[in-house]
């Protein structure tokens, strides 16, 4: 016997089967529930189940079982949380990388920009995408590189943003 919920020395297989039925009922377990689970016609009397319960310490053994199950559940939850954290961190790192790549691409475009022939809507979309990615990373703890609101951005905001990008590249 390794654990209290295992079959005990000298415990009959039938007595152990009754215990398992009791143990597996969970926190709402009862002797009446065992009789119902086993089928009242084939189950021992409630009095006999009570004797077996006392003789084989069903309450204590079931409590040990409940604690064991709770520990397993807690370990599984902690493992799941750690895995989720690793996935979130990887996703954030990728978002930062994409935002940086988009900013670099935008800076390349800005360096060769002919203001008169510029694709302003396209530049606005690219700038908004870069900033949106960066802001999502900021929400998770990354500091923003630029103060730029893609939601309320106007052409003047975009031009100021482009000017800041140009000056930071020099």
Each residue of 109-121: pLDDT tens digit? 777 777 677 777 8
Each residue of 51-105: pLDDT tens digit? 999 999 999 999 999 999 999 999 999 999 999 989 888 887 887 787 777 777 7
pLDDT at res. 144: 46
Structure tokens, 91: 């996703």
Long-range contacts of 107-113 (CB under 8 A, 24+ apart): 107/165, 107/166, 107/169, 110/162, 110/165, 110/166, 110/169, 111/166, 111/169, 113/162
Structure tokens, 25: 């009922």
130 within 8 A of 102, measured Cβ to Cβ: yes
* 55 CB-near residues (< 8 Å, 6+ apart): 15
Question: What is the residue-averaged pLDDT of the chain?
Answer: 82
Each residue of 128-149: pLDDT tens digit? 777 777 776 666 554 444 555 6
Helix/strand/coil percent split, the chain, to 5: 75, 0, 25
């Amino acid at each position: 016997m390794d654990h209290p919920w295992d079959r005990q020395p000298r415990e009959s297989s039938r007595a152990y089967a009754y215990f398992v039925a009791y143990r597996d009922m969970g926190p709402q377990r009862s002797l009446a529930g065992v009789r119902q689970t086993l089928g009242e016609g084939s189950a021992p009397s409630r009095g006999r189940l009570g004797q077996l319960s006392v003789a084989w310490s069903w309450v204590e053994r079931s409590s040990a079982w409940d604690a064991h199950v709770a520990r397993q559940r807690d370990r599984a939850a902690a493992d799941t949380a750690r895995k989720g954290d690793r996935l979130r961190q990887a996703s954030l790192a990728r978002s930062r990388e994409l935002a940086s790549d988009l900013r670099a691409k935008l800076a390349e475009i800005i360096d060769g920009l002919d203001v008169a022939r510029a694709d302003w809507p396209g530049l606005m979309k690219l700038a908004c995408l870069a900033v949106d990615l960066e802001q999502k990373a900021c929400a998770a703890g990354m500091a923003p590189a630029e103060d730029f609101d893609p939601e309320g951005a106007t052409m003047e905001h975009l031009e100021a943003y482009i000017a800041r990008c140009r000056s930071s590249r020099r």
